[in-house]
Amino acid sequence: MLVRIQRVFWMMSLLCLAATAPTLGAEEGHKHGPPQALVSGEGQVLAVPDIAKLQVVILTEAPQAQTAAAENAKKAEAFVAAAKKFLQPQDALKSVGYRIVPLQTYGERGKKPAITGYRVSNNFQVTIKDLSRLGDFIDLAVRQGVNEMHGPFWEHSRMDVLIQEAGVQALQKAKDMAAALAASQGLKIKRLQRVSFRGRTVPVPREEARMLAAAPNSEKIATPMEVGEQEIRAAVDAVFELE
């Protein structure tokens, strides 16, 4: 039984290697056609993101839902006014969620929980395209009553172009591999028969800002922000006809 299991494992290992290794030969169904090289390639480019998005939350709590909602509306109005004054025309501010949730305490087992108050949350998404102003906006948001913040989430305005550049690199690497395989057999590439493209982005680690509301007389805090590079990858599977 042990010998049989080892043989099965050995055969499965060979199949896995065959599935991932470059192939030189005729495709299934075209065994009498011209020789082909089935290869894969991966390319990557590095770029610094130029767009940042923040999730900004204003939270309020009170014994009555109406009181919590009124206080939240007052803070949200002040924040929106200050944010619109600070943001530039290419930036954006929009509402993305609003919730009223009862606060409950649980007593003895079997008894219904008691409602002790209500929490209101008003969520906004902010898009900033001048990253040198990102830290200043975070400081402004805290001074205006924002007490929860998530982000920044980095993006790139030229993402389509960068993915294309990575794809061209990937195809060139695939072609180089096909040429090397062909040369080892005394052949050369005649033409590219087909190619499939797979692009993806490897984002930079996301720094998350979570904070409490600033006290009324607290000093202004300069929030530093360092933007890392973003790695954009693309992979291709290609079939080259050889001669």
pLDDT tens digits along 174-228: 999 999 999 999 999 999 999 999 877 665 544 444 444 444 445 555 678 778 8
Peptide bond into 152 cis (omega under 30): yes
- Give bridge partners of residue 100 from the DSSP assignment: 120
User: Residue ranges per domain, the chain?
Assistant: 23-48+158-243, 51-155
Phi and psi (nearest 5°) for 236? -130, 150
> Coil, strand, or helix at residue 111?
coil
Chain position carrying tokens 């007490």: 147
pLDDT (tens digit, 9 = 90+) per residue, 83-116? 999 999 999 999 999 999 999 988 777 778 889 9
With a pLDDT cut of 90, the percent of the chain lying above it is: 64
Report the candidate in 143, 156, 136 with the shortest Cα–Cα distance to residue 216: 143
Q: What is the DSSP string of 211-238?
A: -PPPPTTPPP------PPPEEEEEEEEE
Q: Which residues, in sequence order, are CB contacts of 224 under 8 Å at separation 6+?
A: 135
**Which CATH class name applies to 23-48+158-243?**
alpha beta
Report the candidate in 234, 221, 230 with the shortest Cα–Cα distance to residue 51: 230
Please state the pTM of the whole predicted model.
0.69
**Which CATH class name applies to 51-155?**
alpha beta
> Would you say 159 and 209 are in contact if contact means Cβ atoms under 8 Å apart?
no
What angle do helix axes 65-86 and 134-143 make, rounded to 10 degrees? 150
